[in-house]
Amino acid sequence: MSKPENKPDVGKVFLEEVTRPPVNERVRGWQRVGRVLLVPALAVVTGLLLGAVLIILTSESVWEAFRVSLGSGLVTAWNTIVQAYTALFTGALGDPVRIVQAFQSGDALEIRRALNPIPESLVNATPYIFAGLAVALGFRSGLFNIGVEGQLFMGAAAATYVGYAVKGLPGFIHMPLAFLAGALGGAVWGFIPGWLKAKTGGHEVINTIMMNWIAFRLTEWLLGGPMTRPGSGGLPISPMIEKTAEIPQFFPAPIRFHLGFFIALGMAWLVHWLLFKTTWGFDLRTVGANPNAARYAGMNITRNIILAMTLSGALAGMAGANQILAVNRSMALGLSPGYGFDSIALALLGNSTPVGVILSSLLFGALRNGATRMELLRIPNDIVSIIQALILVFVAAPAIIRTIYRVKVPKEAEEAVFVGSWGGGNK
Amino acid sequence: MKKLSLFLAVVVVLSLVLSACQPAATTQAPAAKKKICQVTDTGGIDDKSFNATAWKGAEMAQKELGWEAKYLESKEVADYEKNINAFLEEKCDLIVTVGFLLGDATKALAEANPNAKFSIVDFSYDPPVANVVGQVFATDEAAFLAGYLAAGMTKTGKVGTFGGLSIPTVTIFMDGFTRGVKYYNQLKGTNVEVLGYDLNDPNKGLFTNSFDDQTKGKEFGITLMDEGADIIMPVAGPVGLGTAAAVKERGNALIIGVDSDWYLTAPDYADITLTSVMKFMDVTTFNVAKSVEDGTFKGGTNVVGTLANGGVGLAPYHNLDSKVPAELKSEIEQLKKDIIDGKIKLADIK
């Protein structure tokens, strides 16, 4: 049993920050929505503005135009930004002109292509939702799960294995089975550091990071060895999963929108329900907010820590299973662009609430999807990663945004921090 | 604070002014150029390895054929399909995908879009896909020459090699290299040893299990030098640069580059680079584009880069030219001819 800390450390303060109720419960309706979204929205705007500056600075044609004259430099700079952001937004949400033209042409493929941006953004957002929920659940329970990436890899490996090795099952059994295997793979990888924390006091940050490395090397070995595709000569890529294990996509190619998105939404609802509507969730949050009080109230801290890490790992494993079963259909090492690490930021952006995680995942998914269109204009897609990072910096340090835009901290919100109870939206 | 508001005001005003000038520049309908479009694997466009080399080929098509070259980088597996789809939408005349990781996505989308033309670098399909040209390389032919050269140049009687992963595109280098050494031994009655690779069991070789960790490259280089190797061929992309650094520090060994001519791509190590085993993926990519241009594109086939067609080759000795005995040079020239003429079969040398 770990000894509870007596004085708040930096991690504790951070946790309070990411899980505090953003706005007093008494403020209701649109006013509340406005207050909640104000800082993130301004952060997005500021991130895009700074991103624009970066686009200009890194564009060769702009520099060349400036060499010609100041005027043509400014015009080129402006045009570059307009083109870049037009591409970003139409790439993420669709181009109305093109949609109209596609419908006029009556070509089914053209119509699907024109309508594809939004569903594709949802496809991009789905793994973020699962992974973001995993981190948020950890935060709410007072745990830093930095191991989401590793849990995602283990989940993906388990789902892949069940996906290709089990044969002859009907789809309505095989697919859920593979998906649950993924959840289980992640859960095991979350359980271990949870158990270590609860029983030995080994800090979960260190242990989850180490578990990440074990997961990466283990999956590397699995893919090159036992799970390698037969006849490939040992290439680190798994066999294709069976058709019956695939998470169904709803539309013909190129639209990849799939059931996984709704599973993710379902999970978000489930996490919300678990955290805020059940005694179980109340226990989890209480242990997270104040272990001493929880112990005093007779709650089982050991069990709650293990439970929280296991559930968090299961959600992370689902992110991996989702990618394999719905999109990739076989496993290779470039499985994730860092979903597990981005999701820490996402949970922060979403104030560790399921709704917040969904919204910030949609934002990140849309940005990533739009980046492809922008890249076609020879603007590196890394710019989008930088914009994402900037948004997070501003959300993480709301004081910057408040100072820039002179947003006053609402009085009630300030009070809410001090009288603040555990987690947001307590009932 | 005031300054910031002022700055924002200026930005707003400027944007209004500039938006007035905008229409002049945006509507330039480009002439219908043919497009070569490359999807990278997760290594990215400047991986100093096959993505970058294939892109050189795309740029050659831009320069020499007047095509337009575009690329999309993949950050994860899920991007492969997305990026190929984006290029199908762009109606690219040739879509180039790079590496075995893109094998599945390329095959699926090529089959779904039989009118589009594809080429995949460093990979081939069995059975072939009707509208995909595979680009594969008989790298062992060039590596064989490098092995022969290394055996002729070593002073310690030991040469070394290691790979990034035990996969065919990597082990083919090590295989050819080892056979080259063995051939030298057979001809000259010497007993030069190859460390890091076993012809009978490729999995027993030395592998870093990484294509980006230069520290590992350094460690492997030091280990091999400690074991007595004085010429090392690292087959692990940029990992080899770590080896080159270790070799340069010791100062009594040489390296053999892979993929591109390291004298040019890693000039820091020009003085210790004996030669490089080159895979001209730029040339093969360009040739596929050219076949589209002339209308001779033939899907379902493989382009095999060999010594004979210049798809693989040994780089010049550059700075070390004077160190290589003239006799050895002419022997290697002769070997090259013999391989091209089929007088020497690599598989026969054990």
List, as one string, the DSSP characters of B85-104. Answer: HHHHHTT-SEEEEESGGGHH
Note the pLDDT tens digit of each residue in B122-146.
999 989 999 999 999 999 999 999 9
Query: H-helix or E-strand containing A384?
Result: helix A382-396
The pLDDT of residue A396: 75
The pLDDT of residue A351: 85
B7 pLDDT tier (thresholds 50, 70, 90): low
| Gap between the Cα atoms of A85 and A325, Å rounded | 32
Q: How many CB atoms lie within 10 A of CB B204?
A: 12
- Both tokens of residue A377? 């204009």
Direct distance between the N- and C-terminal alpha carbons of chain A, in angstroms, rounded to an integer = 30
- Per the CB < 8 A criterion, the answer to whether A407 and A22 are in contact is no
Does residue A102 form part of some domain? no
Residue range B35-137+283-305 forms a domain whose CATH class is alpha beta
* Rg of chain A over all Cα atoms, to the nearest angstrom: 23
Residues in chain A: 427
Note the pLDDT tens digit of each residue in B161-185.
999 988 889 999 999 999 999 999 9
What are the φ and ψ backbone dihedral angles of B33, each rounded to 5 degrees? Answer: -85, 150
The pLDDT of residue B141: 95
Rounded to 5°, the CA angle B270-B275-B279 comes to 115
Question: CA-CA distances (angstroms) from residue A340 to A133, A222, A312, B295?
Answer: 11, 20, 11, 47
Q: Looking at the predicted structure, is the pLDDT value of residue B1 above 80?
A: no
Q: Across residues B318-323, what is the average pLDDT?
A: 93
Chain B contact for A236, CB < 8 A?
A: yes
Q: Which of B25, B76, B166 sits opposite A79 (nearest CB)?
A: B25
Q: How many CB atoms lie within 10 A of CB A407?
A: 14
Q: Looking at the predicted structure, is the pLDDT value of residue B258 above 50?
A: yes
Q: Collapsing DSSP states into helix, strand and coil, what is residue B72?
A: strand
Cis peptide leading into residue A254 (ω within 30°): yes
Rounded to 5°, the CA angle A217-B122-B288 comes to 150
Pairing mode of beta strands B273-279, B312-314:
antiparallel
Q: Across residues B321-328, what is the average pLDDT?
A: 94
In B94-133, the residues whose Cβ lies within 8 Å of chain A are 100-101, 103-104, 112
DSSP string, B22-51: THHHH--------EEEEE--TT-TTSSSHH
Chain B contact for A90, CB < 8 A?
A: no
Adjacent-strand bridge partners of B312: B279
Direct distance between the N- and C-terminal alpha carbons of chain B, in angstroms, rounded to an integer = 77
What are the φ and ψ backbone dihedral angles of A145, each rounded to 5 degrees? Answer: -95, 95
| Gap between the Cα atoms of B132 and B301, Å rounded | 7
Spell out the per-residue pLDDT of chain A, length 427, in tens.
Answer: 444 545 556 666 667 666 665 455 556 677 777 777 788 888 888 999 999 999 999 888 888 888 988 989 999 999 999 999 999 999 999 999 999 999 999 899 999 999 999 999 999 999 999 999 999 999 999 999 999 999 999 999 999 999 999 999 999 999 999 999 999 999 999 999 999 999 998 999 999 999 999 999 999 999 988 999 988 877 889 999 999 999 999 999 899 999 999 999 999 999 999 999 999 999 999 988 888 888 888 888 999 999 999 999 999 999 999 999 999 999 998 899 999 999 998 898 888 899 999 999 999 999 999 999 999 988 888 888 888 888 888 877 777 777 888 777 655 444 433 333 334 333 3
Q: Which of A78, A224, A335 sits opposite B22 (nearest CB)?
A: A78
Adjacent-strand bridge partners of B233: B161
| Gap between the Cα atoms of A419 and A411, Å rounded | 13
Q: Which amino acid is at A282?
A: F
Question: CA-CA distances (angstroms) from residue B133 to A85, B126, B285, B300?
Answer: 36, 12, 10, 6
CB contact under 8 A, A76 and B25: yes
| Gap between the Cα atoms of B16 and A138, Å rounded | 47
The pLDDT of residue A414: 44
The pLDDT of residue B263: 93
Domain segments of chain B as ranges: 35-137+283-305, 139-279+317-348
Q: Which amino acid is at A224?
A: G
Q: Which of B74, B90, B167 sits opposite A235 (nearest CB)?
A: B167
Q: Across residues B202-226, what is the average pLDDT?
A: 90
Rounded to 5°, the CA angle B284-B288-B289 comes to 115
Does residue A156 form part of some domain? yes
Alpha helices in A116-170 (DSSP H): 117-140, 148-165
- Which candidate, A48, A97, A50, A57, places its Cα nearest to that of A80? A57
Q: Across residues B240-251, what is the average pLDDT?
A: 94
- Per the CB < 8 A criterion, the answer to whether A320 and A154 are in contact is yes
Question: Which residues, other chains included, contact A210 with Cβ-Cβ below 8 Å and sequence gap of 6+?
Answer: none
- Per the CB < 8 A criterion, the answer to whether A337 and A128 are in contact is no
Does residue A112 form part of some domain? no
To test the contact with chain B by mutation, choose from A45, A46, A56, A75 the residue with the greatest count of B C-beta atoms within 10 A, namely A75
Q: In terms of residue numbers, what domain contains A187?
A: 120-359
ipTM: 0.86
The pLDDT of residue A25: 56
Note the pLDDT tens digit of each residue in B79-105.
999 999 999 999 999 999 999 999 999
The pLDDT of residue B202: 80
Q: How many CB atoms lie within 10 A of CB B223?
A: 16
B8 pLDDT tier (thresholds 50, 70, 90): low
What are the φ and ψ backbone dihedral angles of B136, each rounded to 5 degrees? Answer: -125, 165
Q: How far is CA A269 from the centre of its chain?
A: 16
Q: What is the mean pLDDT of chain B?
A: 90
Q: Could you confirm whether domain B139-279+317-348 is CATH 3.40.50.2300? A: yes
Q: Across residues B290-302, what is the average pLDDT?
A: 94
Question: CA-CA distances (angstroms) from residue A135 to A4, A190, A206, A344, B268?
Answer: 22, 11, 15, 6, 45
Q: How many CB atoms lie within 10 A of CB B302?
A: 15
Q: How far is CA A85 from the centre of its chain?
A: 23
The pLDDT of residue B17: 53
The pLDDT of residue A132: 97
- Which candidate, A117, A185, A156, A343, places its Cα nearest to that of A260? A156
| Gap between the Cα atoms of B317 and A254, Å rounded | 50
Q: Across residues B186-192, what is the average pLDDT?
A: 94
In A156-215, the residues whose Cβ lies within 8 Å of chain B are none
Cis peptide leading into residue A380 (ω within 30°): no
Rounded to 5°, the CA angle A80-A84-A85 comes to 120
| Gap between the Cα atoms of A159 and A318, Å rounded | 9
Does residue A97 form part of some domain? no
The pLDDT of residue B195: 96
> In chain B, what percentage of residues exceed pLDDT 70?
91
CB contact under 8 A, B100 and A237: yes
Query: H-helix or E-strand containing B303?
Result: strand B302-305
The pLDDT of residue A425: 38
Chain A contact for B333, CB < 8 A?
A: no
Chain B contact for A105, CB < 8 A?
A: no
Burial class of A408 by CB neighbour count within 10 A (0 to 12, 13 to 18, 19+): exposed
Chain A contact for B219, CB < 8 A?
A: no
- Both tokens of residue A74? 């400014």
The pLDDT of residue A305: 94
How many domains does chain A fold into? 1
CB contact under 8 A, B78 and A328: yes
